[in-house]
Structure formats: C-alpha cells, structure tokens
Amino acid sequence: MCLGLPGQLIEITDADRHLAVAEVSGVRRVVNIGLLLNDEDDVSVGDWVLIHVGFAMAKIDEEEARSSLEFIEELGSVYDDELAQFGESG
C-alpha cells in the first residue's frame, strides 16, 4: 500500500474527471491523475508515474520506473496480489 506501483500512461480517458489508463507490467487499469495536474510539468501519454491505491502521486523517469518495478517484483506474492487487485478493480 505504501509502495507505489510504477506505471506508464497509455491514454487520457476522461480529462474532466482526471482519469487515464495506466499500464503496470502489462496490466491496465484506470487511474486518477488529478494530483499531478497543477505540477510545473503536467503529465501526458507516455509518461511514467508512481501509482498508490489508484492515484498517480509522482512523475518519474523510465529508469526509476524500471528499478522500482524490479524492487516490487521481488516482494513476490505480495506483488502478485497487488497487481491482480490493480487489474481486477479497474
């Protein structure tokens, strides 16, 4: 819960409600990107973000995304559960 999942933004689906589709390890779901929108550099399709409980909380670069993905994958079953929930509930 406290560890973010790194995902790449695939599509902005509802700009008014700040919703976008993000992909984490091939699994996609809708996430809220509202917390990154008044940032100096707004997020857009193709960007990598750190996702906590369905909300993008920080913009990250691809290098960081890959390293944190690797870290979370090492959590094993915890990561599998998290990813399954991430996909199912979208």
- List residues bridging with 60 in a β-sheet: 48
Which spans of this chain sit near another protein (rule: CB under 8 A)?
1-4, 32, 34-39, 50, 52-55, 57-58, 60-64, 66-68, 70-71, 74-75, 78, 81-82, 85-86, 88-89
- CB 50 within 8 Å of CB 56: yes
Catalogue the E-assigned strands of 1-90: 5-14, 19-24, 27-32, 48-52, 55-60
Shortest Cβ 37–another protein spacing (Å): 7
Contact partners, residue 29, CB within 8 Å, separation at least 6: 21, 22, 54, 86, 87, 89, 90
